[in-house]
Amino acid sequence: MKLLFLPFSITAGLVAGFLSKKLFDGVWGLVAGEEAPGSEHRDISLFRLAFALILEGAIFRVVRGMTDHAARRAFHSVTGRWPGEVTPESS
């Protein structure tokens, strides 16, 4: 089952990376009106760098999770089998 789902997962990961980068760039442009700071920039505020990294990570996780779920739904609609757990485990 995992082997059959692999192409769906890889495609979803690539799409999520592309979408999250575009979304982050758009959001950061609205927030700051300039390019987001990166670790390679010398003259930046550490607070601003940390905020940019937190925002980028949050956007990526949301987009990746939604894209992965959509890939699993597509796989399910094609094969009739759900790749993964049906419900979260209770503690």
| Predicted confidence (pLDDT) per residue in 1-11, tens digit | 678 888 889 99
Q: Which two tokens stand for residue 64?
A: 């990746």
- pTM, full prediction: 0.82
Of the candidates 16, 9, 29, 88, the residue with the CA atom closest to the CA atom of residue 57 = 16
Domain ranges of the chain: 44-81
Q: Could you read off the pLDDT of 11-67 as tens digits, one per residue?
A: 999 999 999 999 999 999 998 988 899 999 999 999 999 999 999 999 999 999 999
Residue 51 burial by CB count (10 A; 0-12/13-18/19+): exposed, middle or buried?
A: middle
Amino acid code (one letter) for 51: F
Whether 36 contacts 84, CB under 8 Å: no
